[in-house]
Structure 1
Amino acid sequence: MSSSSVLDSKANPLAATKSIDYSAYLELSRVKNRAGILLIFWPFAWGLVMSARTLNLPLNVVLRFLGWGIIGSFLFHSAGCIWDDIVDRNLDAQVERTKNRPLPSGRVSVRGALVWLTINIIPLLALLWPSNPLAFRWTIGLVSLFPLAGLYPFMKRVTYWPQAWLGVTLSIGVVAAWAYTSGSYPTSALVLSGGAWAWTLWYDTIYACQDRKDDLKAGIKSTAVLFASRTKLVIALFGMILLAALYTAGVLNNQGYAYFVLSVGGAAVDLLLQLMEIDFERTESCGRAFHRNGYTLGSIVFFGIFIDYALTCLV
């Protein structure tokens, strides 16, 4: 760099930042991966509307909580992706699908990623902050964010079950929703949370199948690697656990016919169609199935819960 260019950058601070690739930071946050955001949001939304039906919460309160929930899911998803990419940058460089991500490709520095992570975490903590810092919902939020989400990227180095850890991280949204509305949680919330855990194992195993061949070469552990040729059979079991949990939670929470027909029945049909259509050896097929869970299955379950809540409000 010539002396004149150095002087120019000092005289004009904006000149020193022109090389920053802002789109790379958005890519780091996976802002275009709306399915990932929804997969975080749905367990919270399911639990919220179930609790609203039991507690007779007015619609405006439910909609306000859902709005905060989608914002929180966006921030949680963004922070989680950034942290995951920071920890996995060397592993991602060995996988065909991920080698061009911002960190392994060098478009974003680790320092820049950490700053961007902090920018995402601060408003997320503000969103979780209650009037009483010792409140139950604050505890749940912190547990989900730091020990659970924070340790998730390291799980694939020590166990073939990182998806199970992720399932605990995301399914806690059901309990968090009840905590936000009532300050406690019933047995039905724990059962539904168990179903959300099984659902996470379903769709994240499908997601991991995209990279199974590269993961084997790089020594990366996952349920997709563990299940191998038995993947369809094993995730079918997780699908049945989800359906059993949806049914049991509905019985415990005294849900109406709309819930059992639309949420439980609709989920059963969609899970069956996914099993019939997916090809675990094709990356594109696995990617479509993963996104389908965020856009379709999660919304089917939510639609049934919400219709049941709306019918209760009309009675």
Structure 2
Amino acid sequence: MSSDDTPQQPPKDSTPDAEHESFVDYMPPALRPWLRLMRADRPIGTWLLLLPCWWGLALGAATPLPRYSDLASLLFFTMLMAVGAFVMRAAGCIYNDIVDRDIDAKVARTANRPLASGRVSLTGAWALLVALSLIGLLVLIQFNLTAILTGLAALGLVAAYPFMKRITWWPQAWLGLTFNWGVLVGYAAVTGTLGWPAFLLWGAGIFWTLGYDTIYAHQDKEDDALIGVKSTALRLGERTQAWLVRFYTATVILAAIAGRLAGMNFWFFLLLVAPMAHFSWQIWRLKTDDPATCLKLFKSNRDAGLIMLGALLAGLF
């Protein structure tokens, strides 16, 4: 076979933690930087934002007097939240890249991001951010007033997040507050109110995020130390695995209490063994000085979140 007959591979200009050969690699070249700016080639972030929304829906459906829990409404809310999670995660990533563009240019894993590398202009990034935010608003206003107001209340958390690594060793905790806000929105969408079950499951999500994002942060710890930004990976260091035990144990305990208050049945509590087993596997496999292993374990939290969702759904019947 001549060189002209050799199959052409799509160009690889994505960051190391992007999905290999994602659909973005086959899109027109002019679109690829914009899709990568939205992290369309990295679906794990959308999953980690979406799953707490679905947790909140399931928890709300278990409450004694849910107001909007007929099957048609729940399916509609499920689809709305999938759209909302995709566009708002994309908007959040763009905002984060706008704020961090100078830092990203100094970090090996992020130096090739579209803004940091100059393939997307700052004006263009702001325009796309506004467009995605408007789509997210259109999704949000499909819910009841309590859910709408709850969703809007998250904007302050989102706006502050990129600055947390400059002022605290625990930016992962702030990410947990932000990324799991969907629990509250989902619960409010079903019940028309908020309550202790929702707040406790939100807390479970916060500890879950502390675990998985600490694992993720170990990929960047050397660069972070050099440029002077902070993370739980740097703070916890060799104690990371011991802290992961605490974080993930708190996740399961708070989820169990939330389920008990919401009226979940026996199957929910029995099946909580499954996410705990998954978390134990993560802790056992973790090698904090191996970026590839850290990335693999971080991405496995999509499965952990789906397992928790399965336990919540089982608790409804």
Q: State the TM bucket, normalised to the shorter chain.
A: 0.7 to 0.9
Once residues 228 and 273 of structure 1 are traced to their aligned partners in structure 2, the CA distance between those partners, rounded to angstroms, is 19
Structure 1 residue 179 corresponds to structure 2 residue 191: no
Number of the residue aligned with 1:300: 307
- Which region of structure 1 is more displaced relative to structure 2, 274-283 or 170-179? 170-179
Structure 1 residue 101 corresponds to structure 2 residue 110: no
Number of the residue aligned with 2:147: 137
Conserved in 1, the CA contact under 8 Å of 2:143 and 2:189?
A: no
- TM-score, structure 2 length as denominator? 0.87
Conserved in 1, the CA contact under 8 Å of 2:219 and 2:294?
A: yes
Aligned partner of 1:122 among 125, 131, 134: 134
The one-letter code matched in structure 1 to 2:199 is: L
Number of the residue aligned with 2:288: 280
The one-letter code matched in structure 2 to 1:285 is: T
Number of the residue aligned with 2:299: 291
Q: CA deviation at 1:307?
A: 2.5
Conserved in 1, the CA contact under 8 Å of 2:60 and 2:188?
A: no
Q: CA deviation at 1:59?
A: 2.2
1:61-90: CA deviations, max 9, x gaps?
211111111111101110011111111111
Once residues 33 and 241 of structure 1 are traced to their aligned partners in structure 2, the CA distance between those partners, rounded to angstroms, is 28
- Alignment of structure 1 residues 1-315 onto 2, 5 Å: 21-54=30-63, 55=65, 57-129=69-141, 135-144=145-154, 146-262=155-271, 264-294=272-302, 296-309=303-316, 311=317
Q: 1:67 to 1:284 in 2, by over 3 A?
A: same
| Secondary structure of 2:221's aligned partner | helix
Q: Specify which structure has the higher proportion of helix.
A: 1
| Secondary structure of 2:248's aligned partner | helix
- TM-score, structure 1 length as denominator? 0.87
Q: CA deviation at 1:194?
A: 0.6
| Secondary structure of 1:103's aligned partner | helix
Once residues 143 and 313 of structure 2 are traced to their aligned partners in structure 1, the CA distance between those partners, rounded to angstroms, is 28
Q: CA deviation at 1:20?
A: 8.1
Q: What CA RMSD, in Å, does the superposition of the two structures yield over aligned residues?
A: 1.6
Once residues 287 and 143 of structure 2 are traced to their aligned partners in structure 1, the CA distance between those partners, rounded to angstroms, is 49
Q: Which structure is larger by alpha-carbon Rg, 1 or 2?
A: 1
Number of the residue aligned with 1:10: none
Conserved in 2, the CA contact under 8 Å of 1:21 and 1:107?
A: no
The one-letter code matched in structure 2 to 1:219 is: G
Number of the residue aligned with 1:16: none
1:166-207: CA deviations, max 9, x gaps?
111122211111211222122111111110111111111111
Q: CA deviation at 1:130?
A: 5.2
Conserved in 1, the CA contact under 8 Å of 2:61 and 2:191?
A: no
The one-letter code matched in structure 1 to 2:179 is: L
1:243-276: CA deviations, max 9, x gaps?
11111112111211221122x1111100001111
Q: CA deviation at 1:149?
A: 0.7
Conserved in 2, the CA contact under 8 Å of 1:161 and 1:222?
A: yes
Number of the residue aligned with 1:8: none
Once residues 29 and 304 of structure 2 are traced to their aligned partners in structure 1, the CA distance between those partners, rounded to angstroms, is 38
Q: CA deviation at 1:306?
A: 1.4
The one-letter code matched in structure 1 to 2:100 is: D
Q: CA deviation at 1:104?
A: 1.1
Once residues 215 and 277 of structure 2 are traced to their aligned partners in structure 1, the CA distance between those partners, rounded to angstroms, is 18
Number of the residue aligned with 1:5: none
Conserved in 2, the CA contact under 8 Å of 1:210 and 1:286?
A: yes
Q: CA deviation at 1:242?
A: 0.3
Q: CA deviation at 1:60?
A: 2.2
Number of the residue aligned with 1:11: none
Q: Which runs of 5+ in 1 are unaligned?
A: 1-18
Once residues 47 and 104 of structure 1 are traced to their aligned partners in structure 2, the CA distance between those partners, rounded to angstroms, is 36
| Secondary structure of 1:104's aligned partner | helix
Once residues 174 and 80 of structure 1 are traced to their aligned partners in structure 2, the CA distance between those partners, rounded to angstroms, is 18
State how many pairs are aligned. Answer: 287
Q: CA deviation at 1:161?
A: 1.2
Identity percentage over the alignment?
A: 36
